[in-house]
Structure 1
């Protein structure tokens, strides 16, 4: 009997002792059996590594990789790329350490992508769950490909923990802080890869208080998002983008009064803060612009800072 193509499941784990056992079980209990399960423990300080090692002994599909040093976000992206580079499967399935797959998740996506060779990447809807596995909401994306293609140049149209895609050497880019998956989708989109979001609910997506840790970096995340979009347009026009010369520190330090920011970056950051109704961030950026440059260069923003609430109210009604 001909063996089915293999799927490589990849998981980067750090201090996930409360949920990782359920997560691992949800992968091992899949109705689709022909997969390898690559797990990187990113220097966990709790019992995460012990739990992974326990299941590694029980199931030879698990391949554990132990990191020597935790390097934060850049290390996380590095982990994903290490596992993709080691993956032997025809397809890659991204997984998170606190989510729970439905038992037919891989089977449904495998059948879907095998039956249509034009599909490069698949995504699916999810139920949101809390720390106690209670359903608290839904993650729903457009399942019409035309709508997804329109949406992708403004927002992320896919659900990252659910994706399954062809193993053709695409890696995440470590300088794209907080937008690593969106940048990947846009690179695939500029390469004319077909990406589909199916309307089935195939997993439980856990929402934790720590899941919101990026929200206090909303302006910085928005800057990286805009950069990912601008890179897309560069590739469409020039076949290549300026990623190699991009310095992420310019965005990461946009609020640092002692870090020299360009006029263009400050104006973009202020615009994004205003659009998002982030008054405190907007005022911080205005103060920085006053310190580093002439107020004349930012006069419109300075005026808005004095009438922020009214200005946003007028803007939001447009």
Structure 2
């Protein structure tokens, strides 16, 4: 098989409502050489049974169970350490990939010799109904650009491990994905965006206003406690982040 192996990392915690749809969206990829590592963070629902049922018919599906509930960053790092692929991709357990997602992204990365790419994504209601709102990926973004605009959706990212040095996610409960992209962009000049919306991002659970407040706190924590930015620079880039977050939602 000529296609390089893609290892897809999915943390799973009490994900039974949407997990099957997520796995099916991976199985429906036109790009076929992949494995998906589903890391069970001690779920209390039927997530494990759902995964094991899929495993009976598809040996590309891997199940890993953590010994204790540890959060998404630990789960994703366990997946990265067990991944066999040249490429690392991420999809959250309630998001949906469009069938051509991997094919378009991997082809682009191989052609242009890119280590880090992401795509636009479309917002989806909790019930699966698609909205007209799309978070549009810029053609490229660097470290300072990402500080001002956390546009990179985790479920859209693919990393080429032959180009990007070994990486793991910082051990923080929230915002570990953006912190990881910032960490990578300290070494890589750019992350490159694909304009097509190839992922449907599900808005789940709490009210939009509650989620916005959490996102603001999470981003501020990333600036101050993960990136160790000073108060002045944190305040400066935070203003841009708020502006871009509002623009993204309109």
Distance in 1 (CA, whole Å) between partners of 2:222 and 2:207 is 18
Distance in 2 (CA, whole Å) between partners of 1:98 and 1:222 is 22
Distance in 2 (CA, whole Å) between partners of 1:218 and 1:102 is 26
- The alignment yields a C-alpha RMSD, in angstroms, of 2.7
- Structure 1: stretches of 5+ with no match in the other structure: 235-263, 277-318
Equivalent in 140, 158, 164 of residue 158 of structure 2? 164
Change (3 A) 1:178 1:17: same
Change (3 A) 1:139 1:216: same
Q: Can you list the C-alpha shifts for 1:185-215, whole angstroms capped at 9, x where unaligned? A: 2222211343111110102111112486654
Decide which structure has greater strand share. Answer: 2
Partner of 2:4: 5
How many residues were matched structurally? 233
- Displacement of 1:227 after TM fit? 2.1
Q: Is 1:17 aligned to residue 16 of structure 2?
A: yes
Larger relative contact order, structure 1 or 2 (CA cutoff 8 Å, min sep 6) = 2
Q: Is the contact between residue 148 and residue 157 of structure 1 (CA under 8 Å) also seen in structure 2? A: no
Q: Spell out the pairing of 1:134-145 with structure 2 (5 A cutoff).
A: 134-145=129-140
Q: Is 1:82 aligned to residue 78 of structure 2?
A: yes
Q: Is 1:121 aligned to residue 77 of structure 2?
A: no
Q: Is 1:151 aligned to residue 150 of structure 2?
A: no
**Aligned with 1:191: secondary structure?**
coil
- Structure 2: stretches of 5+ with no match in the other structure: 243-250
TM-score normalized by the length of structure 1: 0.66
| Greater radius of gyration (CA) | 1
Change (3 A) 1:211 1:184: farther
Q: Is the contact between residue 141 and residue 158 of structure 1 (CA under 8 Å) also seen in structure 2? A: no
Distance in 2 (CA, whole Å) between partners of 1:219 and 1:132 is 26
Partner of 1:173: 170
Distance in 2 (CA, whole Å) between partners of 1:222 and 1:29 is 34
**Aligned with 2:115: secondary structure?**
strand
Q: Can you list the C-alpha shifts for 1:95-128, whole angstroms capped at 9, x where unaligned? A: 11111111111111110111111x2111111111
Q: Spell out the pairing of 1:1-318 with structure 2 (5 A cutoff).
A: 3-71=2-70, 75-117=71-113, 119-145=114-140, 151-167=145-161, 168-175=165-172, 177-210=173-206, 214-217=211-214, 220-227=217-224, 230-231=227-228
- Displacement of 1:139 after TM fit? 3.4
**Aligned with 2:149: secondary structure?**
coil
Moved over 6 A (4+): none
Distance in 1 (CA, whole Å) between partners of 2:109 and 2:191 is 10
**Aligned with 2:49: secondary structure?**
helix
Distance in 2 (CA, whole Å) between partners of 1:226 and 1:149 is 12
Q: Is the contact between residue 125 and residue 141 of structure 1 (CA under 8 Å) also seen in structure 2? A: yes
Change (3 A) 1:229 1:41: closer
Q: Is the contact between residue 186 and residue 228 of structure 1 (CA under 8 Å) also seen in structure 2? A: no
